[in-house]
Amino acid sequence: MSNLVHITEDDMKEMDRISRLNLVNSITGFKPANLIATRSEHGVNNVAIFSSIVHLGSNPPLIGHVTRPVTVPRHTYSNIKANGEYTINHVPEGLEEAAHLTSANYPEDLSEFETCGLTPSFVKGFNAPIVKESPVSLLMEFHEEVPLSNGTVLIIGKVKSVIMKDDFRAENGSIDLLRAGTMAISGLDTYHPVSEGRNFPYATYESIEEKVEQEAKRPDQVVFDEKTKSYNASLLPYATNVGAPVIKPNDLTHWKASGAHKITRHLQAKYEELRTAYEEMTELFRWNELVYKAKFSFEPIAGETYHLYRKEDDSIFLSMIPPTNWSKECLGSFKLNSDQIWEKVLG
């Protein structure tokens, strides 16, 4: 077993510059991967990778990013100040190598777009490019700058528009980042694809109390699915957090990057379809297994609905009596179809 380390402020002071930089750049956890694109007074398009991007409020929609000390030329910073408009573009899987290359210092009159294999694209009436390969782009208007005591500057901008495909919009209004393929960054040099997460309802003290009570009552043979708020017949036997495969070209011509990006998207959509179908089939199988293993002493008739109950001794039995006429613990209701498959009756 590994020992616990305690790295103090003094230890950090004594570290060599690179170790300290690497440590501090990774201690906050994963950060978003975004390209900020700007246009200079002389019409040169600029793009650079930024990880210190954070939302500051949703009404008005304000986003901040931290710029390193402006004691040396910072093209993103000076273009934002001169132009007033800029864009923030998500880095999708397949584009991370090109995105990383934008962090090098390029001469002011050279566009990182071309050098790094990225494509500038323009929205009518907006004077900064978006990154064409990016799945989600924000059109930003400079709002204010806040100099910080360590020499860095917090730049705050207002979101004027969000540009993305319609199918990246989740039902609750948020962006489906997994579907968009948006990556995360750790430290200063590592780009991570993201796998499916878990989501929870808005937490209140009352809801926590209710959950504790419900958990105490749940049967063992079935699993409660937080997503659908219903019982699953059993734990699914496969790793549902495995992501779809990603194609990463080893050189950065635009053609390859955009082709790999497209096929990755296509495969991800197909993968999600197959996974949903597999989950549905597995659930059907598990319920049927449970119903067929339950005790019943009558011959069920196709087209009729029956109800699955759990007894005090944990045994499971099938009955024709509906749960409304009985106070027993009902695990679900099922209709037998003509293929002798039990279909779960919703509600």
Ligand X SMILES: Cc1cc2nc3c(=O)[nH]c(=O)nc-3n(C[C@H](O)[C@H](O)[C@H](O)COP(=O)(O)O)c2cc1C
Kindly state the smallest distance separating residue 49's Cβ from ligand X, in Å.
4
Cα gap 236→243, rounded to integer Å:
16
CB 77 within 8 A of CB 157: no
Kindly state the smallest distance separating residue 18's Cβ from ligand X, in Å.
14
**Using rule CB under 6 A, residue 76 touches ligand X:** yes
Cα gap 249→96, rounded to integer Å:
10
User: In this complex, which beta carbon is closest to ligand X, that of residue 30 or of residue 231?
Assistant: 30
Stretch that binds ligand X, among 43-51, 209-217, 230-238, 259-267 (CB under 6 A): 43-51
**Amino acid, single-letter form, for residue 4:** L
**Using rule CB under 6 A, residue 81 touches ligand X:** no
User: In this complex, which beta carbon is closest to ligand X, that of residue 159 or of residue 188?
Assistant: 188
**Using rule CB under 6 A, residue 50 touches ligand X:** yes
For 89-111, b/e burial (b = at least 16 CB within 10 A) is: bbbbbbbbbbbbbbeeebeeeeb
**Using rule CB under 6 A, residue 101 touches ligand X:** no
Q: How is residue 168 annotated by DSSP?
A: G
Within 10 Å of residue 157's Cβ, how many Cβ atoms? Answer: 26
Find the binder of ligand X among 184, 188, 194, 223 (CB under 6 A).
Answer: 188
Count of residues in contact with ligand X, rule CB under 6 A: 17
Kindly state the smallest distance separating residue 177's Cβ from ligand X, in Å.
18
Kindly state the smallest distance separating residue 42's Cβ from ligand X, in Å.
14
Cα gap 97→261, rounded to integer Å:
12
**Using rule CB under 6 A, residue 185 touches ligand X:** yes
**Using rule CB under 6 A, residue 169 touches ligand X:** no
Length of the chain equals: 347
